[in-house]
Each structure stands twice: as C-alpha cells, then as structure tokens.
C-alpha cells in the first residue's frame, strides 16, 4: 500500500492500494471515534460496491446504514442534500459517528457538504470510485452542491478524515468516464510535471491501465503539494484550474448535460494554450485526442465568454486564468473581464 499524508489544517492520509475497498472497514476503524457509519452513494455505485463496503464495515464492528440517490450531476442539488440530512437524522448520526462518501465526484462533493454542515460538522471518509474523484475531487476538502445559477456555488472547505483509493474500481469505468478523469491527469502533467505528461502521452485510452497506479499516485501527490501550500484557494491552488475557466463555460453552455467536466477541461486547456502558448498546442492536442477528448468547443468564443465571467475565480471585475507556457509550469494571470474577453475574441 502507498500512503500520502496530506498536511492541511487537519492532516489526513490517502491510502492507495488495489483491492482496498474490500478492507475499508479496517482502515475506517483506525480513525473512527465510534462504530456507527452512514454510507452515501449513488444507485450505480451501490450496485457495484455497496455490499462490499457494508460487509467490511460490519466485519469491523460497525453498525451502518446506506442512502443512495440517482447517479449524475443533476443530483448535486439542494433537494438531494435535504434528503441526505433526513437520512442522517433517521440514522441517528451524532458528531462522534462517521459519514462515508462512496462514489464519484458528485457523491464526494454533496456528501462532503452534508458532513461539513450536519450538526455543524461530522467526520467523513472518501472512497472515490472514479479516476476524476481519486485524483482530484476526493483530496483537498472542496465540497459543494450546484445552485440554479451555477455549478458548485454553495459549498464549504471540509477535509476528509481519510481517503481510500482502490485503483481496481477504475477497471469497471466506461471509456467516457475514464477519459473524463484523464483530462485532469493531463492537466496535472501540464501544470507541474513534464515526466507525467510524457507518460500519459505515450499511452492512450486503450492501454493506460498499464500505468494507472503511477498516474494516480503522481496526480494525488501533486494535488497534495498544491493544497498544502494553499488550502483555502487564495493563490497557488488556482493553478489546478488550468483549462477550467473556458471548460466550465463550455459545460455551462451545454447546461451541464451531455458534456462531461473532463471534456470541458480538455477543450479549455487546448483553447487557452492555442491563444497563449501556441508552440505547445501540437503536443497537448495529440495527447488530448489519444484519450478521445475534444480539443475545441462547438460553441463560438462569443457564446462562451458570458459564461466565463460567472467563473468562481473571478474577483470583482477581474478574471484569474491559468496559462502554461512550458509543460510542467503554470502561471496565474489576471485580467479585467473586458481585457480577457478581448484577448479571447482575438484568438
């Protein structure tokens, strides 16, 4: 097993081991104050891993209940959050007990937000089962739900007590969901690690499983370093948003349906790189294409720009956006909304 210690205001471990989902109860018992747990998952993941997680918890002395909601971004809502609160009340969860997020990014984000707010805070464990959740959303403590006016707009920072990553769970992912996570892996290579970028670029969607353990470990370790330096997203952490300003705009343009986050990020990285570091475009686009991801958006820049100005990285009238002029190095740039729009319209 590999362990990455994340030294945030509340330190915690990320355990990375094939098959670890089967022994999750043992690891959770090591950090839990009580032997009562509430599992929150979605209907797809429940069928795949619900019984495995329950069995392991029971074998380790836990009494547990489970709640599942429909798979997909539409569930990251106030309505589902309210159902989760009701379930936690019905399960008599107290501040000593533990909440477990079992699933992808949607499950992790909404469960983390419930854990941050229910009884003003209950400890929670992330068991991420998608690549995107393992290398990005389960680590770093960002939790949120979507509002009518945008994605992730109500949230809290709440670091998990433990993250358990089982890369065997990635084998059951559809190519689309795997590609979704690979966009974030390419992003880590672009912002921090040329060697990682090369490893990813030497593979494709068909054979990347051969090097998945190395990719997962390296990406989580990059995220650890960034989050340790800037837990509350005031500076350096913004580099994790490379490709996201345009990417979120593309997702927003498609109403967040039929367009995955990874596709948005992939196209967003390529569009911003064509505009600010054209010499890298060929390498980046070749890599992005190898994972079946888009290098451009069907929407015009004029259609996307109104969505960019809603970006969370906006500060008053300024937009922060990320540029990589060299693979492995990222820079935060600031422009007024008007300047940003002008630069992008010219591209």
Please say which residue, 179 or 220, places its beta carbon nearer to ligand GLY: 220
Question: Of 104, 108, 266, 221, which Cα lies nearest the Cα of 170?
Answer: 104
Cα dihedral 177, 216, 109, 92, rounded to 10, equals 110
Question: In the beta sheet, which residues pair with residue 162?
Answer: 13, 125
Give least dist CB 333 to ligand GLY, A.
17
Q: Count other Cβ atoms within 10 Å, centred on residue 157.
A: 16
- For ligand GLY, the binding residues in 203-242 under the rule CB under 6 A are 233, 237, 240
Residues 6 or more apart from 30 whose CB is under 8 A from it?
none
Report the run of H or E that residue 251 belongs to, with start and end: helix 244-253
Please say which residue, 68 or 159, places its beta carbon nearer to ligand GLY: 159
Give least dist CB 153 to ligand GLY, A.
15
Work out which of 140, 262, 264, 268 binds ligand GLY, going by CB under 6 A.
140
Work out which of 35, 36, 76, 142 binds ligand GLY, going by CB under 6 A.
142
**Token pair listed for 230:** 């800037």
Please say which residue, 36 or 142, places its beta carbon nearer to ligand GLY: 142
Give least dist CB 222 to ligand GLY, A.
11
- For ligand GLY, the binding residues in 80-139 under the rule CB under 6 A are 136
Residue nearest to ligand GLY (CB): 240
Give least dist CB 273 to ligand GLY, A.
19
Size, binding site for ligand GLY by CB under 6 A? 6
Give least dist CB 142 to ligand GLY, A.
5
**Token pair listed for 28:** 């959770």
**Token pair listed for 169:** 């769970």
**Token pair listed for 73:** 């971004």
Give least dist CB 99 to ligand GLY, A.
20
Question: Quick one: the chain helix, strand, coil %, rounded to 5?
Answer: 55, 20, 25
Residues that bind ligand GLY (CB under 6 A): 136, 140, 142, 233, 237, 240
């Amino acid at each position: 097993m590999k362990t990455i210690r994340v030294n945030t205001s509340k330190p915690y471990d990320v355990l990375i081991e094939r098959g670890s989902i089967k022994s999750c109860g043992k690891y959770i018992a090591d950090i839990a104050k009580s032997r009562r747990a509430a599992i929150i998952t979605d209907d797809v993941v429940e069928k795949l891993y619900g019984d495995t997680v329950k069995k392991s918890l029971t074998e380790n002395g836990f009494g547990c209940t489970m709640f599942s909601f429909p798979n997909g971004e539409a569930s990251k809502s106030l309505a589902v959050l309210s159902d989760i609160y009701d379930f936690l009340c019905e399960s008599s969860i107290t501040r000593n007990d533990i909440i477990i997020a079992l699933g992808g990014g949607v499950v992790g984000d909404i469960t983390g937000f419930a854990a941050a707010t229910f009884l003003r805070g209950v400890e929670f464990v992330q068991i991420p089962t998608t690549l995107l959740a393992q290398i990005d959303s389960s680590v770093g403590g960002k939790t949120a739900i979507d509002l009518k006016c945008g994605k992730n707009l109500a949230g809290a920072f709440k670091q998990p007590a433990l993250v358990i990553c089982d890369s065997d769970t990635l084998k059951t992912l559809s190519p689309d969901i795997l590609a979704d996570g690979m966009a974030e892996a390419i992003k880590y290579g672009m912002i921090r690690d040329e060697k990682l970028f090369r490893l990813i670029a030497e593979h494709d969607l068909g054979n990347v499983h051969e090097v998945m353990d190395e990719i997962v470990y390296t990406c989580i370790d990059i995220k650890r370093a960034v989050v340790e330096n800037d837990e509350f997203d005031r500076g350096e952490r913004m580099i994790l948003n490379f490709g996201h300003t345009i990417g979120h705009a593309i997702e927003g343009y498609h109403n967040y349906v039929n367009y995955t986050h990874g596709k948005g990020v992939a196209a967003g990285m390529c569009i911003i790189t064509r505009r600010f570091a054209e010499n890298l475009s060929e390498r980046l686009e070749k890599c992005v294409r190898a994972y079946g991801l888009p290098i451009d958006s069907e929407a015009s820049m004029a259609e996307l720009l109104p969505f960019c100005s809603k970006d969370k990285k906006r500060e008053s009238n300024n937009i922060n956006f990320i540029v990589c002029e060299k693979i492995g190095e990222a820079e935060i740039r600031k422009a007024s909304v008007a300047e940003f729009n002008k630069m992008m319209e010219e591209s």
